[in-house]
Amino acid sequence: MNVDLIQHTPDPEKVVAAAARLCYSSDAIPDLFEQLNDDKVANFVRRLREMGHLSPFEHVSFQFSIDGVSRALSHQLVRHRIASYSQRSQRYVKENGFEFVIPPSVIQNPEALGRFEAVMSRLQEDYQELLNYVPAEDARYVLPNACTTSLMATFNARSLLNFFEHRTCIRAQWEIRFLAGRMLDLVREVAPNLFSEAGPTCITQGVCRQGTYSCGRLKTLERKK
């Protein structure tokens, strides 16, 4: 899996702070930017987060390139609908000798790994053979969820916070949890105040909304406190 932050709104934290100040100020927008120093920006962002007033976070966006992830992951990713996606098409791009993601549980079991790789090899051959008879858009129906794909994804900061809340949770599926963790590391490098409290609710809010499916981490954190 390769994940990169391609670009983002310049000076994202100042943009958020200026947007918040605009709601309560008669000053012109350029003047609002000039009045904000680093301490004021950090303070504004912290107060917005504490009050749950997150609409100013929607004014900044972050664009990622995501490569070498499975179709199983991409099907989960697009469930986060307040984002924009572009994905490599299996209709127009042929998957000759496609690469695939192997789950850790399969890698750790020699018998499972042998069966898994055998299935992937057979599907590669079947797909290649089908291309001799039908268009790629129809041959792709035999491609597995393990087949790798590439995406570009653009989120605003508020949507990212929601994404991190759900996908850094221990109960999230392992591949998208790894992706979320990598994305969180990347945005914290350029906007540490915006994402200082990003993560699962057991850590950020001291609550767990998984009910009977809870992993139990919240109780562990409470005992440590």
Q: Which residues are catalytic?
A: 167
Q: Is 49 annotated to bind ligand?
A: no
Q: Is 145 annotated to bind ligand?
A: no
Q: Is 156 annotated to bind ligand?
A: yes
Q: Which residues of 1-107 form beta strands (DSSP E)?
A: 2-8, 61-70, 83-87
Tell me how many degrees the CA angle 191-196-200 measures, rounded to the nearest 5: 125
Q: Which residues pair with 63 in a beta bridge?
A: 7, 154
Q: State the Cα–Cα distance between residues 149 and 98, nearest whole angstrom.
A: 9
Q: Is 180 annotated to bind ligand?
A: no
Q: Is 78 annotated to bind ligand?
A: yes
Q: Is 177 annotated to bind ligand?
A: no
Amino acid at position 135, single letter = P
* Enclosing H/E stretch for 62: strand 61-70
Measured from the Cβ of residue 27, the count of other Cβ atoms closer than 10 Å reads: 14
Q: Is 205 annotated to bind ligand?
A: no
Q: Is 77 annotated to bind ligand?
A: yes
As to burial, measured by CB atoms within 10 angstroms (0-12 exposed, 13-18 middle, 19+ buried), residue 215 is middle
Q: State the Cα–Cα distance between residues 84 and 159, nearest whole angstrom.
A: 11
Q: Is 47 annotated to bind ligand?
A: no
* Locus of tokens 């790798």: 148
* Locus of tokens 């012109």: 28
Q: Is 150 annotated to bind ligand?
A: no
Q: Is 217 annotated to bind ligand?
A: no
Find the length of the chain: 225
* Locus of tokens 């291309």: 131
Annotated binding residues for FAD, written as ranges, equal 55, 79-81, 87, 156-158, 162
List binding-site positions: 55, 76-81, 87-91, 140, 156-158, 162, 167
From the annotation, which residues make up the binding site for dUMP?
76-79, 87-91, 140, 167
